[in-house]
Structure 1
Amino acid sequence: MDLTLALLALAAVLLFALIRPRNLPEAVAAVPAAGLLIAAGVVTPKDAWAEVLDLLPVVGFLAAVLVLAKLCDDEGLFHAAGVAMARRSAGDPRRLLVTVFVIAAVTTAVLSLDATVVLLTPVVLATARTLGVPSRPHAYATAHLANSASLLMPVSNLTNLLAFTTAGLTFAHFTAIMTLPWLLVIAGEFILLRLFFRRELAVAPTGDTAPPPAETPVFVLVVLGLTLVGFAVVSLLGASPAWAALGGAVVLAVRALIRRNTTVTDLARSTNVPFLAFVLCLGVVVTGVMRHGLDTAMRDVLPLGTSFPALLGIAAVAALLSNVVNNLPAVLVLLPLVVAAGPAAVLAVLIGVNVGPNLTYPGSLSNLLWRNVVHGEGIPAPFLEFGRVGLVTVPATLLLGVFGLWASVEVLGV
C-alpha cells in the first residue's frame, strides 16, 4: 500500500511537471505530494529531513548558477554569441551548425543546460532567420546539446551535481574523466545531426549575410573564467563549488546594480525558488518510492561491476528509466544503488540520464522547456519528430560516451 501511494505521488508530480497547467510551477504538485507521504507515514519526518539536508548544497549551487546565467545575459553575453555565429557562418548553414555546436556545448558546460535552452536557443533561431537559413537543424542542436553536452563538469547539470556529491571526486578529477566522453558524445551528435538534416543544411541563404560588427563582452568573460578556476580551487579545499558560483554571481550582480541594469527583485526572481522547492520535494517523494520496493527491483536489473559491458548496461538502464520517469527522479533512484560499485558506475548513470533524454520529451524538463521556446518562435517540433531524431543519435552517443568513460577510467583511474 505504501509503495502504491508513493508511486501515485511520483506519477502525479511528474505528470504535473510535464504538462504545467496554466504554466503553474512544478512545486504546486510536488510540495503537497511530499507532505501527503509524510502525513501518511510513507516517509518519516526524519528521512524526509535527511533527504532535504542532502539536497540543500545542490539546490544552493543551482540557485547561484541560475543568477549567474541571468546576469551573463544582462551583460550581453548571448547577444555577442549570436553575433559570433552570424560572423563565423557567413551565411552557410553548415558553418552555422558548427558554430552553434561550439557555443552551445561551451554554454551548457559552463552555465548549465537551462542557459542553453532559455537564453541561447532564441538567439540561435534569430540568427538563422536573419541569415535566411532553415532553423530546425540548429534548433535541434541546442535541444540535444542541452542534455548531452552537460556531461563535462559538475556545474553543467543538476544531475551532475547529484552525481558529483555521490562519486566523491574532486572538481578537477571529475572534469578530467568526463572530458573524453563529452568530446565523443558531441562529435557523434554533430555527425549524426548533420546527416539527418543534410537537405536543409544544403539550402542557400536568402537573408542578410553581411557580417555584423564583432562584440566581445570582456568583463563577463573574465568573471566566468575566474569562476571556473574557483570551482576547481574550492573543490580542492573541500568546500562546495556553490561558493565559487556565488562569488561570480556577486561580482556581476554588484556591477549590474551599480549600473542599474537589474534590481534586487529581478535577482531574487532569477533564483527560481519554486523550482528549487520542487527539487527538494521530489527528493522526498523518490525516497518514499525507494524505501518501499523500487530500490530492490532496480538493483536486480542493474549490471554489476565496472567493466565496459557493465558500464554500458548501467548507462542503458539509466537512459531507459529517464524516458519513463524523467532523468531527475531516475538519477535520484539509481545513484544510491550503484555507489558501492565506485565512481565509474556513478558516472555511467550520469551518461545515461544526460544522453538518454534526447530520445523523448519526457526524458528531461529541459526538453519540455525547449519545446515551449521553439513553439513560441513558430517552429513545430512534434513528439514523433523529436523521437525520430533521438533514435538516430541516442544509441550511438550513449555507446560513445560509455566507451570514453571506460577509457578515461582505465587511464586516469578513479
Structure 2
Amino acid sequence: MTLALGALAVVLAFAMFRPRGWPEAVAAVPAAGLLIALGVVSFDDAMVEINDLLPVVGFLAAVLVLAKLCDDEGLFHAAGVAMARRSAGEPHRLMGTVFAIAATTTAVLSLDATVVLLTPVVMATARTLGIPSRPHAYATAHLANTASLLLPVSNLTNLLAFSAAGLTFAHFSAVMALPWLLAIAAEYVLLRWFFRRELAQRPTDHVTPPPAEMPVFVLVVLALTLVGFAVTSLLDVAPAWAALAGALVLGVRGLVSRRSSVAGIAAAANVPFLAFVLCLGVVVTAVMKHGLDDAMRHVLPTGTTLPALLGIAVAAALLSNVVNNLPAVLVLLPLVAGMGPAAVLAVLIGVNVGPNLTYPGSLSNLLWRSVVQRERLPAGFVEFSRVGLVTVPVTLVVAVLGLWVGIELFGVR
C-alpha cells in the first residue's frame, strides 16, 4: 500500500508541475513498470486494466485530433469573431456569449478543446474589446469541467462512466441534460456575482471586427459525428469509430487544402498523454488492490435516494481534489457500478463539478493555468479556490437535484 500510494503521489505531483515541460508519461510509465516489477500489482491485473482503458483512450485520441482539425478549419476564429460582434463591447453580453460557446464546445469537442483552443480566443476577444479578460477566462475554466456533464464524449471521465453505467448514448445524454443545464445556470449566476465589479467596467476601446466566414462544412461534419455517436451506441459499436470517421473527413480536407499537416495531426493525438492515462490506470489499480477500495466502500452511501446521490457526489468531489478527478473516477466506479446507473452518474457529477474547487482537482485546471499564464493573466491558487468555494457547493447540489429528477423522468435506477 505504501509503495502504491507513493507511486500515485509522484505521478500526480509530476503531472501537476511538469518540470521542464516534460509530459506526464515521463513519471507514469516508470511508476507503473516499477509496481509491476515489484509485484505490487500483477502483470495480469495491469493488462486487464489497460485493455479496459484502451477503447476509451482510442476515443480520446480521435476527439483530440477532431478538435485540432476544427481549429485548423477556422472554427474557433469564427467563434471569437462571433463573440466580439454579439457582445458589442458590453462585458455582460460577452459573458453570456462565452458561456454559450464554451458550454457547446465542451459538450461536443470535449473539455480539452475549451481549455487549449477556446480560452486564448476568449482572452484575445476581451482584450480587443478593451474589457477585463479575467471573468471570461474563469468562465472557460469552470465550464471545461462543469459543462462536460452532457454527453459521454465530453470528458474522459464521462467515457469511463458511460461504460460503467450501461446506458445508450441517447439515454445517458437525456438523463444528464437537466443536471447540465442547472449546473451551467448556477455557474453563470455565481460567476457574474463574483466578478460583478470587473463586469461593470466600461470598455476602453470598442472595435467591432468584420464578420468571419462560418466554416459550414466543419459544422456539418460535427453534427454528423454526433449522430454517429448515437448510432454506434445503439449498434453496440465503439463510439471511437464515429469520432475517427469525422477526423478522417476533416483530416483529408485539411491536408488537401494545406490548412493541416501530418505532423500537426499526429501531435494533436498527444500520445504521451494517452500513455499517461493507461499507466495511471495501472497505478490506481495497485492502490485499489491494497485497501483503498475497502476504505472508500465504507465512506460511500448506498442507494439512489436524493440524500444518497448527494453523498456520493460530495465524496467524489472531495476525492477529486485530493487525488485528481481521473484517479478518483477510476477508484469509485468499480465501487458504485453495482448500485446502478444513478450512482455512477452521481460520481460523474462529483468528479466533473468538484474539480473547480482547486487546481489539482483536474488536469484541465492545470492546463488552463498554463494557458492563462502564457497570456499573462495571474491566476494564483488562492484566487482559483476562492472562486471555486463560491460556485462548487451550489453547482454540485443543483446538478444532483437535476439528476434525481432525470432518473425519475427516464426510469434510471
Q: Does 1:25 align with 2:23?
A: yes
Rounded Cα–Cα distance in structure 1 between residues aligned with 2:247 and 2:209: 32
**Structure 1 position 94 matched with structure 2 position 106:** no
Q: What is the aligned partner in structure 1 of residue 321 from structure 2?
A: 323
Aligned-partner residue type, residue 62 of structure 1 = L
Show the 5 A alignment for 1:264-283.
264-283=262-281
- The letter for the 2-side match of 1:294 is L
1:288 to 286, 289, 295: 286
Candidates 159, 174, 180, aligned match of 1:182: 180
- When normalised by structure 1's length, the TM-score is 0.99
Structure 1 distance, partners of 2:9, 2:381, is 20
State the match for 1:302 in structure 2: 300
Match of 1:397 in 2: 395
In structure 2, distance between residues paired with 1:212 and 1:385:
36
Q: Which amino acid aligns with 2:216?
A: V
* Residue identity in the other structure for 1:98: G
Which residue of 1 is the match for residue 353 of structure 2? Answer: 355
Map of 1:308-387 to 2, 5 A cutoff? 308-387=306-385
Alignment match, 2:125: 127
Report whether the alignment pairs 1:235 with 2:233: yes
Structure 1 residue 321: Cα displacement: 0.3
**Are 2:120 and 1:146 aligned?**
no
Residue 260 (structure 1) shift: 1.8
The answer to whether the Cα contact below 8 Å between 2:49 and 2:281 also exists between their aligned partners in 1 is yes
Q: Deviations over 1:20-58 (max 9, x none)?
A: 000000000000000011001111110000000000000
- Which consecutive residues of structure 1, in runs of 5 or more, have no partner in the other structure? none
Q: How large is the Cα RMSD of the aligned pairs?
A: 0.7
CA contact (8 A) 1:311 1:345 kept: yes
| Maintained 8 Å contact 1:90/1:211 | no
- Residue 191 of structure 1 corresponds to which residue in structure 2? 189
**Alpha-carbon deviations, 1:177-221, whole Å to 9, x = none?**
000000000000000000111111011111233252243110100
Letter in 1 for 2:17: I
CA distance in 1, matches of 2:210, 2:392: 36
Q: What is the aligned length? A: 412
Identity of aligned residues (%): 77
Post-superposition offset of 1:267: 1.2
Deviation at 1:114, TM superposition (A): 0.4
What amino acid does structure 1 have at the position aligned with 2:114? Answer: T
Give the distance between the partners of 1:25 and 1:211, measured in 2 at CA: 38
CA distance in 1, matches of 2:205, 2:250: 36
Question: Equivalents in 2 of 1:15, 1:310: separation in Å?
Answer: 32
**Contact 1:86–1:212 (CA under 8 A) maintained in structure 2:** no
CA distance in 1 between partners of 2:140 and 2:258 (Å): 31
1:61 to 35, 45, 59: 59
- Shift of the alpha carbon at 1:66? 0.4
Question: 1:330-386, CA deviations, whole angstroms, 9 ceiling, x for partnerless residues?
Answer: 000000000000000000000000000000000001001101111111110011000
Amino acid at match of 2:205: G
Partner in structure 2 of residue 15 of structure 1: 13
**Gap runs ≥5 in structure 2:** none
**Using the alignment, how far apart are the partners of 2:183 and 2:44 within structure 1?**
41
Task: Give the distance between the partners of 2:244 and 2:204, measured in 1 at CA.
Answer: 44
The answer to whether the 8 Å contact 2:82/2:211 transfers is: no
Structure 2 residue 78 is the aligned partner of structure 1 residue 80? yes
Is contact 1:129–1:207 with CA below 8 Å preserved after alignment? no
Partner of 2:42: 44
Cα distance in 1, alignment partners of residues 54 and 405 from structure 2: 33
**CA distance, structure 1, for counterparts of residue 138 and residue 372 of structure 2:** 10
Please identify, of 312-321 and 259-268, the stretch whose mean Cα deviation from structure 2 is larger: 259-268
SS at match of 2:23: coil
Tell me which amino acid in the other structure corresponds to 1:153.
L
Q: Which amino acid aligns with 1:328?
A: L
Kept in 1, the 8 Å contact 2:88–2:206? The answer is no
Match of 1:137 in 2: 135
Where 1:351 maps in the other structure, the secondary structure is: helix
Residues of 2 paired with 1:78 and 1:253: CA distance? 17
CA distance in 1, matches of 2:288, 2:102: 35
